[in-house]
Chains A and B, each alone.
Chain A
Amino acid sequence: MSAGTAKLNVTVAEVKPINDLVTRFKFVRTGGGDLPTFSGGAHTVVEMQDGDITRLNAYSLMSNPADRGAYTISVRRDDEGRGGSKFMHSQVKEGMEMVISNPVNLFSLDLRAKKHLMLAGGIGITPFMAQMHQLTMMGGQFELHYSVRNASLGTYAEELKAKYPGKVHIYHDDQDEAIDLNTLIATQPLGTHVYVCGPKGMINWVHGTAEDMGWPREAVHSEEFLAPASGKPFEVKLAVSGKVIQVGEHQSLLEAIEAAGVDAPYLCRGGACGQCETNVVGYDGKFLHYDHWLDDEQKAGGKHIMPCVSRFEGKTLVLDR
């Protein structure tokens, strides 16, 4: 199978600033026609041609999955990041043609659930917007608890409260409002599934609390995509293709492999899905594993690396690519 996912050619139909940090983008199929249907929780990988660099960032689809006319995503500007979100905010204009991937869902609803309890932090709201559309269409039960920094950064908060009366609860950090997770989890009907999307601390908090309260692991779902960390440049030898590549300070190992013209598989580009797992042929140095995929034993074993987010420091690294 070739790398990544099947591609879609799209045109930017709308660029709409939502608040100081978040801008919404709407894509339609270039030349007209329907886009593929998707399931709530799916993301698309947006390709950005930023000078010589091709950036590939995953963003959750937030529009109604049944609407095949357009996809929308929301991008939070990360001034400390490597530049993907800054590119989206500063370079992407209405009418621009772009390439995005077919939808991929690594955060799907468990359709057996009697009720879906959604916990969002900040920009983590976006996959839930598509899921709420889907559940409304199917007549599913859901409840959203959404934590925001303050009212002005509460992306879509008012809109959602109006759209789903009684089902949406907003918590403002600056007013010391916080989700009462223990009570919330303790009072759910049997058959409820919990979903969390937000900062790492929030995800760990929800998993830990649910586990402490005796919830089955299978009933708690989370999604967190990491941004690749920057780090010291390093050199890698690719054993199969016979190439020696340099990984730049602000470049991921996966991006460097791709830039050398070597076809490498990927899906999420955020350390979660496992698709880019690569065998290590030999090394002399230290791995900097940042992914959620390999377990601690594998990370210590020095035989595997997830090149989308992880790095290396040392003399030599030889990979099976």
Chain B
Amino acid sequence: MTIQFNDETFYGDFTFKNSDWAIKRFPFPFHEDSYMYSVNMEPHKSYRPGSVFERTFDVDEHYVAEMKDRARVLANDPLRCQSLPHMTLAGWDLVELIMEAKAAEYPDLFELHKDGNRWRWVNKPLGIDDTFTFLDESTLPYGPMEYITRQTQGDFAVLDQRDDNLWMDAGMVTTQADWSLDFDIGMNFFEWHAPVPKANEMGIFVRALKFLLNIQQGQPARRLNWTMTVNPLLDTSPENYHKWGTMKQGLTMENIGEKQHLRVELQTFFRLPRSNALVFPIRCYLIRFEDLVTVPKWARRLHRVIRDLPEELATYKGFIDNRPLMVEYLSQFDDGSPTSDGIWADD
């Protein structure tokens, strides 16, 4: 296999680690030295070989460990995966989308063999070789959405489209930045976004919804979003805040480089063909500060972004208390020299 999968954890002893390869391809989210919300959508087309934008669903060295972490979270809290009855067809759409993309783009890792509706799916990294009947739930060990998202990195919100709105009617959510599927299930686009500060006054959501309602088959879109996480926790859910919230305390200049992580979400949007639903995969990438600052441009820019971020945003993203320490740490790596446009490291 072309990818060496890490044996690592995202809880307890936190042995998660990025290789040099993973650091180099990290999706740094800031294209300039400041940050404000925007509907920063672009077509989800293959871009920059080796980057996280190359494949439809990126598979990296964390794949196997992330899937183990998902199984652990689900065992403790089955409500992280829910699908309202009318969303089963969308689940099958997702099975088809992911299996076809992974088999075509990672032929050494995944295989899909079709004989009419009889499908054989081979997932070599996870040691799965299943034969099932497409559109027949009784032939899979889980519902279709749960089956395939237990094998795919990132959270998945599956949105029904009706009445000119989107409805959070199904999802697999175990690697979330402090939101809850169990709380949001059945809500529409405006309801589940209600807690986000400033964006509503800016008209962001009306424009974003209009864009999303018009996403068409064969034309997926993507954007990056970001926040901060202390320790490499994939599961920063409200349900478990009592376990991870306290970890935000106790950062020092000595340990911040190791403990503080920039958390980036690669969000993609696909129209699903049979159900006309929209699937919203939210893929989480983590990088510790001490790895991030090995890229000089990223170190300088992150310092300026965090230093100048409006207070409401730092509060909403949950790091207002640690901001002074972050700025102090990052300032060591900012000599004031200019940064080039765009998100990519200078060669």
What residues of chain A have their CB less than 8 Å away from a CB belonging to chain B?
Answer: 1-2, 5-6, 36-39, 41-42, 65-66, 102-105, 108-112, 134, 137-138, 218, 267, 273-275
Chain B 64-94 interface mask (CB, 8 Å, partner A; 1/0): 0000000000000000000001110100010
CA distance A104 to B217 in the complex (A): 7
> Considering only CB atoms and an 8 Å cut-off, how many residues of chain B contact the other chain?
24
User: B22-30, B159-167, B300-308, B318-326: which one contacts chain A?
Assistant: B159-167
Q: What is the bound-complex CA distance between A36 and B270, given in angstroms? A: 13
Compute how far the CA of A17 lies from the CA of B43 in the bound complex, rounded to whole angstroms: 40
Interface string of B21-50 (1 = CB under 8 A from A): 000000000000000000001010000000
B219 near A102: Cβ-Cβ < 8 Å: yes
Min CB–CB distance B41 → chain A (angstroms): 8
| Pair A103/B219 contact, Cβ less than 8 Å | no
CB nearest to A1 among chain B residues: B43
Identity of the chain B residue whose Cβ is nearest the Cβ of A104 in the assembled complex: B216
Asked if B273 and A36 sit within 8 Å, CB to CB, the answer is yes
The 8 closest A-B pairs by CB, nearest first: A6-B218, A111-B86, A108-B276, A37-B273, A102-B218, A39-B276, A112-B86, A102-B217
B124 within 8 A of A: no
- On chain A, the residues within 8 Å of B276 by CB distance are 39, 41-42, 105, 108-109
Least CB distance, A271 to chain B, in whole angstroms:
15
Please name all residues of chain A whose beta carbon is closer than 8 Å to the beta carbon of B210 when the two chains form the complex: 274
A36→B217 contact, CB < 8 A: yes
A-side contacts of B96, CB under 8 Å: 37
Q: How far is the CB of B232 from chain A (nearest CB, A)?
A: 35
CB-based nearest B residue for A38: B273
Q: Are A102 and B89 within 8 A (Cβ)?
A: no
Interface centre among A42, A105, A275 (most CB of B within 10 A): A105
Query: Complex: how many Å from CA A267 to CA B214?
Result: 8
Q: A108–B221 Cα gap in the complex (Å)?
A: 21
Docked Cα-Cα span, A37 to B216, in Å, equals 13
Task: Tell whether B148 is near chain A: CB-to-CB under 8 Å.
Answer: no
A138 to chain B: which residues have CB within 8 Å? 89
Determine the chain A residues whose CB is within 8 A of the CB of B160 once the complex forms.
111-112
Known contacts: A37-B273, A38-B273, A110-B162. The answer to whether A137 contacts B217 by CB under 8 A is no
Contact A137–B135 (Cβ < 8 Å) = yes
Contact status A111-B273, CB under 8 Å? no
In the assembled complex, which residues on chain B have CB atoms less than 8 Å from the CB atom of A5?
216-219
Are B219 and A273 in contact, with the CB atoms below 8 A? no
Query: What are 29 A-B residue pairs whose CB atoms fall within 8 Å in the complex?
Result: A1-B219, A1-B221, A5-B217, A5-B218, A5-B219, A6-B216, A6-B218, A36-B217, A36-B273, A37-B96, A37-B273, A37-B274, A38-B217, A38-B274, A39-B276, A42-B276, A65-B274, A66-B274, A102-B219, A103-B273, A108-B276, A111-B86, A111-B89, A112-B160, A134-B274, A138-B89, A267-B214, A267-B216, A275-B214
Q: A111 — nearest CB in chain B belongs to which residue?
A: B86
Q: Across the two chains, which residue of chain B brings its CB closest to A103?
A: B217
**Bound-complex Cα distance A179 to B35 (A):** 59
Bitwise, B86-111 to A at CB < 8 A (1) or not (0) is: 11010001001000000000000000
**Which A residues are in CB contact (< 8 Å) with B274?**
37-39, 65-66, 134
Question: Once bound together, how far apart are the Cα atoms of A162 and B219, in whole Å?
Answer: 38
Complex: A134 Cα to B275 Cα, angstroms = 10
Question: Given the complex of chains A and B, what is the CA–CA distance between A36 and B219 in angstroms?
Answer: 12
Closest Cβ–Cβ distance, residue A84 to chain B (whole Å): 21
CB-CB < 8 A to B41: which residues of A?
Answer: 1
User: Smallest Cβ distance from B120 to chain A, in angstroms?
Assistant: 18
Complexed CA–CA distance, A110 and B165 (Å)? 12
Sample of 5 further A-B pairs with CB below 8 A, known A5-B218, A103-B273, A267-B216: A6-B217, A39-B274, A111-B89, A134-B274, A218-B163
Output the nearest chain A residue to B169 by Cβ-Cβ distance: A112
Q: With a CB–CB cut-off of 8 A, which chain B residues contact A137?
A: 135
CA distance A10 to B96 in the complex (A): 23
Taking CB atoms, residues of chain B closer than 8 Å to A273 are 214
Q: Hey, which chain B residues are within 8 Å of A108, CB to CB?
A: 161-162, 276
Residues on the B chain within 8 Å of A1, using CB:
41, 43, 219, 221
Q: In the complex, what distance in Å separates the CA atom of A109 from the CA atom of B274?
A: 10
CB distance from A61 to the nearest CB of B (A): 11
